[in-house]
């Protein structure tokens, strides 16, 4: 299984706080409108389309895509987080959403070329073999479909900002959330995408202003960054 039990336990222990916008997951709540807007800008309207959120956690992005009219499946291997996601969907009456505890590689074997949009956000830096995740996402996308990734760059600046700054100084995230050795350079992610048969369409950076406490998109991919890819072929 392409998962680290320590990582699953770490996020499982915090699962009950996933939908608290003032909790450890506050950054996810803050960046979610930005990444959703970017997904729609690249992929087009989500209305009536099948979307998959890989590593969905408590369902923040999956829920938002469903409210844009997509038929959404969220998958994860963290049982507690999935239960929180399912409970929130019931309480909020989120339409057209389903959650499953299954590895993305297993789902790729079951449902190849089934989704118009595939997202995998803030997950690649938490698994032993990120390239395997990329390959599975590519298999799951329909020809012509869109695949989105976000992760953290590996360089001294990202270490200072994403670990020292975010976890120790500003305390935006719990200490130990990230492991620097698992950060992924854009060139490495681009190679994994190409090898999986995906065309990289666009990249964007995500930056945080400690004075205003706000996140924004930028052209600077030196710390947090996002990839938009397309699977060759017609459809979607």
More confident residue, 171 or 150: 150
- Is the pLDDT score of 236 beyond 60? no
C-alpha radius of gyration, the chain, whole number: 16
Overall average pLDDT of the 1-26 stretch: 89
Handedness of CA 162, 167, 169, 170 (dihedral sign): positive
Mean pLDDT of the chain: 95
- Return the axis-axis angle of helices 79-91 and 60-67, rounded to nearest 10°: 30
Residue 180 CA: distances (Å) to CA of 149, 154, 155, 163, 164: 18, 7, 9, 8, 10
Mean pLDDT, range 193-218, rounded to an integer = 95
Determine contact, residues 122/150, Cβ cutoff 8 Å: yes
Please give the model's pTM, rounded to 2 decimal places: 0.95
- From 59, 150, 68, 157, select the one nearest 99 (Cα to Cα): 59
Q: What is the pLDDT of residues 92-134, one digit of tens each?
A: 999 999 999 999 999 999 999 999 999 999 999 999 999 999 9
What sign for the dihedral angle of Cα 158, 119, 14, 18?
positive
Residue 234's pLDDT is: 80
Distance, in Å, from the CA atom of 28 to the CA atom of 35, rounded to the nearest integer, reads: 10
135 pLDDT higher than 90: yes
């Amino acid at each position: 299984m392409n998962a680290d039990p320590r990582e699953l336990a770490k996020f499982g222990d915090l699962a009950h706080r996933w939908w608290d916008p003032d909790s450890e997951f506050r950054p996810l709540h803050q960046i979610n409108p930005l990444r959703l807007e970017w997904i729609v800008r690249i992929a087009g309207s989500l209305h009536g389309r099948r979307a998959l959120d890989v590593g969905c956690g408590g369902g923040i992005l999956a829920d938002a895509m469903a409210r844009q009219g997509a038929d959404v499946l969220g998958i994860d291997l963290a049982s507690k987080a999935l239960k929180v996601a399912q409970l929130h969907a019931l309480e909020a009456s989120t339409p057209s959403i389903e959650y499953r505890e299954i590895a993305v590689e297993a789902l790729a074997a079951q449902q190849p070329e089934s989704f118009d949009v595939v997202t995998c956000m803030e997950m690649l830096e938490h698994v032993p073999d990120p390239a395997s995740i990329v390959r599975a996402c590519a298999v799951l996308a329909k020809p012509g479909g869109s695949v989105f990734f976000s992760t953290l760059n590996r360089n001294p600046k990202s270490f200072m900002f994403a670990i020292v700054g975010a976890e120790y100084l500003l305390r935006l995230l719990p200490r130990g959330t990230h492991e620097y050795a698992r950060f992924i350079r854009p060139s490495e992610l681009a190679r994994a995408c190409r090898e999986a048969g995906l065309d990289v369409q666009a990249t964007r950076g995500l930056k945080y202003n400690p004075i205003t406490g706000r996140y924004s998109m930028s052209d600077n991919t030196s710390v947090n960054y996002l990839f938009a890819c397309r699977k060759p072929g017609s459809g979607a």
